[in-house]
Structure 1
Amino acid sequence: MTIMKTNGKIDLAVFTALVVAIALISTILFLSSRVAEPGFDPCVVVMYNAGLGADCNAFLNDSDYSYVDAVKRAYDYFTGVSETVPGVALSVRTHTIDESLLFERNPSVESYSQRHFFNPMRSLETKIKDVVMNANSLSFKSTQTREAIAKEIYWAIMDFSRAKVQIKVAGELIELDFSRVDPRLVAAIMVVESTMNPFALREERSLLPNHDFIYSRGLMQIYELTLWSLNTWLRDSGVNVQPLELWSIRNNVFLGMLYLAYATHIVDGI
């Protein structure tokens, strides 16, 4: 590096400006690389699967309960501990919908999106693409479509990974910080819930009168009743997602991360 001189002396103003600029760039790079790495919390995983009121210890001590182990195996793949994503047997069928629904965006949801200037988790992007491209449940889709799905999944996770969302639960205002949800955990849950198939649909008999079935849709398998709760929490924030909007990859990921952020909030308060 050549430092400017004036009358044989170092121009301190220029030198100081260079030092400050280098320090600023280094800080930005450092912060951008630290995107939500809080680790793997099995109780948060239990709550995602069994509900926010689930007895974590009871589930973890149940030898027949395998959900957490399945998510952990997928998480190990995304963190580089393992090179293979294990097969997951799911009672999920692929629903026939217009592909354009996967890429629709809800303006109220997108208000929480923050695109990273730097791309800090290239390995996650690569692994998500590998899973999607090799998913048997998506083999009927073209290479171009699968690549677009993988890209949309990755950027949805990253764009919402720094969101701060205020919700109201039972009259209490709570600010959820999505940066406390590990992006690799989000991806791992997707693998177990839907094998990263955004067309995935699961149905169960409804407990409500005049409703034969309720459905969970998409990557993170958001149930309609769960959607109603999430919309209620978000009412004051102006976010409202309709059941058919759950096919949108970005809407589905946002709501799944919201649920995980709230589960993390509960676990941290225990």
Structure 2
Amino acid sequence: MRYFFEIAYNGTTFHGWQRQKNAKSVQQEVEEALSKVLQSEVSITGSGRTDTGVHCLQQFFHLESDEALTEKLSFTLNKMLGPDIAINNMFQVIEEGHARFSALSRKYEYRITTKKDPFQKDFKYFLNRPLNIQTMNDAAALLIGKQDFESFSKVKTEVNNFFCDITEAEWKVNGTDLVFHIRANRFLRGMVRAIVGTLLDVGFGKIAPEEVKNIIIAKNRKQAGSAAPAHGLFLTEVTYPPEIVKK
């Protein structure tokens, strides 16, 4: 039987989602807790990977179990896991349901504040330089559609192709906060932070909005801007077809 778990976490103290040999990861923490509860070695598959310091409001992982699992497992896991990880839901899915490959879309938000706030220093990028939001949104509109985003990917990454289909890319202002919303069917390693860094260069007037199209065409990471700091980035939503849920 296959089960999906909905998870959220504060990424400040983690070296990303994926298990690593000599670094603390979210996947490792969850697998170790599950192995203790279920009294057997457990391996989980996540809907994707987040980088060091990136936060998550909604992500999913799946696991296989020979025995039926109940909601009590979520309660027990939340007691065992530290305060930076929360299991918010669990449900059985069909055998073909896959946390990564069945996902229809993922959404990220990049959060910036123009007002220094010591209580949000780990969750928003403090930036007190003036920005032209209109030109940033003009540039963001050029990201929409299925395109090759190699220019915004980390150089050393194992993927079959660099094509992503972006359906949403927009900056929104709320008082002293500025949030970038981006949704796509998939994302490359470091892609959102590289996009944000490039759009900030547009907002600073370093490059023209239309230059973003040339950066995409170049397929060269050196042509794009520097990656924005990790702590402003949140994975906020992963969507799946409703038919994967076991009736």
- Give TM class, smaller chain: under 0.3
More helix by share: 1
**TM-score normalised to structure 1 length:** 0.23
More strand by share: 2
